[in-house]
Amino acid sequence: MTEAYGLSIPNQLVDVCKPARCALIVYDMQVGIVPQISAGREIVVLCRRLLEAARAGGYRIFFTRHFFLPNNIAGVGQLRRAMVWQRTNKPEETKPFFLQGSPPWEIVPELAPREGEVVIDKITMSAFEGTFLNLAMRDAHLDCFIIAGIALEVGIGPTVRQGLDLNLCPVLVTDACGSKTADAREHTMATLTETGEVFAFSSAEVLSAMSPH
């Protein structure tokens, strides 16, 4: 830890992994999303370990939960995205993958949020866009986060990048973030780790840093 200008600046993983400054974010571990990734069940197991460590350590815990707006209320960007993803030129033929309140929207039961943990509902890829996540973190004077979930290249990447722009310090738990393909994973990891600002560590390393000494 480095002290300067009255601030405490983390420069190692152990500096970051403290409940007074760091949140755990469990990203989009929903019934409709986990099975899309071949390693989905392994990611659940690793997220569970992180959750248990965070609960034991008194960390603030946030779960993100994605949904899509119904077509009749959606706009240009959402309809365009649906057309691209679902490979059709007809917006009326696209279907929101899941709506708020539907079964695939639920967080998987193994990771069910407990009392005192907060769910962030969102319609964006970055967990910080159009949500109160940054507001809540900053109100508690948190400036770091540990993130794991699915998928690295779809939503965790943009969350980490926006987190940097919000001047937060991100810890990416590499084996606890799922990807659809090895290629997608590699490009995203290369992009995220290029400048050296993102901490990227295995769950074993992060769990060790989170445990009180």
Site for a second copy in 69-98 (CB under 8 A): 69-81, 83-85, 89-92
- The 10 Å Cβ neighbour count of residue 39 is 15
Q: What share of the chain is helix, strand, coil (3-state, %, to 5)?
A: 40, 20, 40
Residue type, 168: L
Kindly indicate which of the ranges 39-47, 48-56, 66-74, 103-111 contains the residues binding a second copy, using the contact rule CB under 8 A: 66-74
Please identify, using beta-carbon distances, which residue of 30 and 203 lies nearer to a second copy: 30
Smallest separation (angstroms) from a second copy to the CB of 46:
23
Please identify, using beta-carbon distances, which residue of 90 and 213 lies nearer to a second copy: 90
Question: What backbone phi and psi angles, to 5 degrees, belong to 166?
Answer: -85, 5
Please identify, using beta-carbon distances, which residue of 105 and 203 lies nearer to a second copy: 105
Please identify, using beta-carbon distances, which residue of 67 and 108 lies nearer to a second copy: 67
Interface with a second copy (CB under 8 A), residue from 30, 64, 174, 188:
188
Interface with a second copy (CB under 8 A), residue from 6, 103, 109, 212:
6
Token digits of residue 133 = 């996540």
Q: Is 37 an interacting residue with respect to a second copy (CB under 8 A)?
A: no
Question: What backbone phi and psi angles, to 5 degrees, belong to 25?
Answer: -115, 120
Q: Is 151 an interacting residue with respect to a second copy (CB under 8 A)?
A: no
CA 108 vs CA 4, 20, 89, 138: distances in Å:
43, 28, 33, 28
